[in-house]
Amino acid sequence: MSPRLLCMAAVLVLAGCSSSTSPSTPLTLTPDAVRLAAQATFGPTVAVVRDIEQRGAAAWVDAQLQLPPSDLGTYPVVSENSNLVCPMGSPPACFRDNFTPFLTETAFFRNALSGPDQLRQRVAFALSQILVISGAEVRPNYGLAEYEKLLLRDAFGTYRQLIEDVTLSPAMGRYLDMVNNDKPNPAKGTAPNENYAREVMQLFSIGLVQLRPDGTVVTDSSGVPVPTYDQDAVIGLAHVFTGWTYPLQPGATQRTHNPAYYLGPMVAVASNHDSAAKAILRGVQIPAGQTPAADLAQALDAIASHPNVGPFIGKQLIQALVTANPSPAYVARISAVWADDGHRVLGNLGAVVRAILLDPEARGEVKTDPTYGRVKDPVLLLTGLARALGVTTDGVYFASASSAVEQPPYLSPTVFNFYPPDYTFQSNLVSPASALLDSGSVFTRANVVHQLLYASLGRDPTVAGSTGTQLDLGDLAGYGGNTGALVDSASALLLHGTLSSAARSRIVDAVNAQDGSDPGARVRAAAYLVLTSPVYQVER
């Protein structure tokens, strides 16, 4: 056979040999495998979906649970002072690189787009929005990075270990005022700071009101929600959390208040700890005369064993990964796994995440319930687009774009995250991320999508090793010459096949209006129309 005929045969079999030739059939992807990839990664790719199809959902999740965390990087230890000043003669980027989360954010986006530990990263991202600290307050980048590494390490461990590591994190100590929190001083009229004591209960563990295992609220005979704790419990815990200071820097001498340093857990100074008896959550009595570590362990045991933790934190993890309005039965099933992972372990986060993703309410080919699903976080819109369209990046553009869409990682405006977990919008349905969605943000998101698809995003000379951001259109690249297959492939990969026939018809018409001699332009047009559509804003 002649070379010309060989090439023609290859075209027919492989849809290759010519950039103007497109496959005649669209991507065929199992919708539920695409949905699982959307729930458990930073965005579906054909490779991940095929892996899920081959292994099965349970085996794929189990394999993800075994992967070690991606590295967020190691950064210089810088001195934290009131002025946050770089040394004389420092490069212009010194402040940005050392006293903002910029470098950790760029590492976050690089890992989110290409790291193998996708599920661990998704769970750590969810935890970072529950157990919040912010670079707006914890200014040294290396300190913020150490806290986020902690969440990555503990993402599949026990909740009890997680809450201890978070409590003793110097970054959390700095953010919520537990570091250098001293025992009462009657002579000075001072009392322990109550900030962390309150937030560890209200936000990080049990919430404000008592919950049944299915997440429904317990009420008294008058229908009023029953609170989980009172001010006395806050005061008692605040006294428990006294006597801790920053870790000791290498070569330094221990002080009652060590200077700011973020490598390693906080250390106890017994002379600054209130060793009197204390009453805390649920009437638990902390006896007098214990060490700071013993008081802390007893208090954290009481928090971690509270029956509210399972439904309160478990439901938020469901909301972050699967659906904003899980049924009470779904929450109850997750609470049961929280209470006992099958091996009598309480709060096994790996087992809880596995149960969330494999639950019948999460799996299934088609979801028709109008209450099902979740509005996507802006960060997930960015990463989902990038992973589907073969983006490679140094993370610089995404750090900037995430700020534009109002969700820069690790820069939450308050301890309450970028949005509350119970946010509603003119509805009886909860939709947390809708708090970031309005008429202005819709246009901003469309502009960011357009920039990624059409702009040249070169390297930033102020960033060491910068390579810029490149897009090669990924698995959709070959479909530019076949509009129907292109739109159906985009629907399969980006919407797990849920594009309506009316929307499909309009997108086909718009793509066909593009220059037929430029297949890449047609792929970009189809991608832009799908990615800016209302249906892409919701993960179902």
Same domain, 383 and 292: no
Residues 241 and 308 in one domain: yes
For residue 58, being part of any structural domain is answered with: no
343 and 408 in a common domain = no
Residue 418, helix vs strand vs coil:
coil
Query: What is the identity of the amino acid at 388?
Result: A
Residues 343 and 403 in one domain: no
Domain count, the chain: 2
pLDDT value at residue 12: 29
The answer to whether residue 340 is domain-embedded is: yes
Residue 156 domain-assigned (yes or no): yes
Residue 297 lies in a domain: yes
Whether 72 and 132 share a structural domain? yes
Listed residue (183, 87, 109, 1) closest to 405, CA to CA: 109
The Cα–Cα gap between 401 and 423 comes to 24
Q: What is the mean pLDDT of each run of 10 residues along the chain (540 residues)?
A: 37 35 85 97 98 98 98 94 80 94 98 98 98 97 98 98 98 98 94 98 98 98 97 98 97 96 98 97 96 98 98 98 97 98 98 98 89 95 97 97 97 96 89 93 95 94 95 95 96 94 96 93 97 93
d(CA 26, CA 44): 16
CA distances in angstroms from 301 to 172, 230, 423, 480, listed in the order given: 19, 18, 30, 59
User: CA 4, CA 14: separation in Å to the nearest integer?
Assistant: 15
Query: What region does 280 belong to: left with phi over 0, alpha with psi -120 to 50, or beta?
Result: beta
Q: Are 285 and 409 contained in the same domain?
A: no
Are 321 and 390 in the same domain? no
Residue 60 falls within a domain, yes or no?
no
Query: What tokens does 306 get?
Result: 């509270």
3-state secondary structure of 423: coil
- Give, in order, the Cα–Cα distances in Å from 430 to each of 144, 212, 379, 412, 448: 30, 19, 19, 20, 27
Residue 42 located in a structural domain: yes
| Residue ending a domain, choose from 358, 390, 408 | 358
Last residue of a domain, which of 358, 383, 409? Answer: 358
Q: And the tokens for 301?
A: 């045991």
Residues 137 and 171 grouped into a single domain: yes
Q: Do 392 and 314 fall within a single domain?
A: no
Compute the distance between CA of residue 334 and CA of residue 318 in angstroms, rounded to an integer.
Answer: 9
Question: What element of type H or E holds 215?
Answer: none
- Answer for the pair 419, 436: CB distance below 8 angstroms, yes or no: yes
Cα distances (angstroms) measured from residue 276 to each of 10, 192, 240, 291: 82, 13, 9, 10
Same domain (yes/no): 279, 166: yes
- 457 and 490 together in one domain: yes
Q: Does some domain include residue 322?
A: yes
Residues 107 and 77 in one domain: yes
Give the Å distances, CA to CA, from 339 to 95, 209, 329, 502: 46, 19, 15, 47
CA distance linking residue 162 with residue 275, whole number of Å:
25
Task: Examine residue 248 and state whether it is found in any structural domain, yes or no.
Answer: yes
Domain boundary among 335, 358, 381: 358
Residue 190 DSSP class: B
Measured in degrees and rounded to the nearest 5, phi and psi for residue 481 equal -95, 5
Range of the domain at 131: 67-358
What confidence score (pLDDT) does residue 11 get?
Answer: 32
Instruction: Tell me the C-alpha distance between 156 and 204, whole Å.
Output: 16
- 104 strand-pairing partners: none
